């Protein structure tokens, strides 16, 4: 009788712990699915790019971003060259930055250049 009681207690204890571990595993899976990459954007100068590989490096004010272009963004890489100022929309997932859009930004005219043209009349003959 004592042996039957021991077997029953061991079986119930094992069952209780296996249920708790199953519940913990299920909770972990649901939190992983709900994490979505956050869309971000940055503007900076292109310091390196490889159109064939679909990669580019953009230097912003405070850091350099190594980006991989998505299929949509790869089309824009043909218009971009090193030294251009670009605006990039990207997401970061698993330590990789994936660019979803790339557009060239026109550099603003300097105030001095704009001031030189202001107030001057074109030369006449």
- Where along the chain do its domains lie? 1-35, 39-104
CA angle at 99 for the pair 94 and 100, rounded to the nearest 5°: 115
Number of Cα atoms under 13 Å in the Cβ half of residue 110: 3
Q: Which CATH class is domain 39-104?
A: mainly beta
* Spatial separation of the C-alpha atoms in residues 89 and 66, rounded to whole Å: 13
- Convert the pLDDT of each residue in 2-15 to its tens digit: 788 888 788 777 77
Q: State mean pLDDT over 68-82.
A: 86
pTM, whole model, 2 decimals?
A: 0.56
User: Nearest CA to 72 among 34, 102, 46, 96?
Assistant: 102
- Convert the pLDDT of each residue in 21-71 to its tens digit: 555 555 555 545 556 778 889 999 999 999 888 899 999 999 999 999 988
Place of tokens 């199953």: 22
* Spatial separation of the C-alpha atoms in residues 37 and 30, rounded to whole Å: 16
Are 14 and 42 within 8 A, CB to CB?
no
Are 65 and 90 within 8 A, CB to CB?
yes
* Spatial separation of the C-alpha atoms in residues 71 and 41, rounded to whole Å: 18
């Amino acid at each position: 009788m004592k042996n039957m009681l021991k077997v029953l207690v061991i079986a119930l204890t094992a069952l209780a712990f296996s249920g708790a571990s199953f519940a913990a595993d299920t909770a972990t899976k649901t939190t992983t699915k709900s994490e979505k990459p956050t869309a971000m954007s940055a503007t900076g100068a292109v310091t390196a790019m490889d159109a064939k590989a679909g990669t580019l490096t953009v230097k912003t004010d405070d850091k350099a971003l190594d980006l991989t272009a998505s299929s949509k963004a790869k089309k824009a890489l043909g218009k971009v060259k090193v030294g251009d100022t670009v605006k990039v929309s990207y997401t970061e997932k698993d330590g990789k930055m994936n660019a979803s859009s790339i557009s060239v930004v026109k550099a603003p005219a300097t105030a001095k250049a704009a001031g030189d043209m202001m107030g001057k009349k074109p030369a006449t003959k």
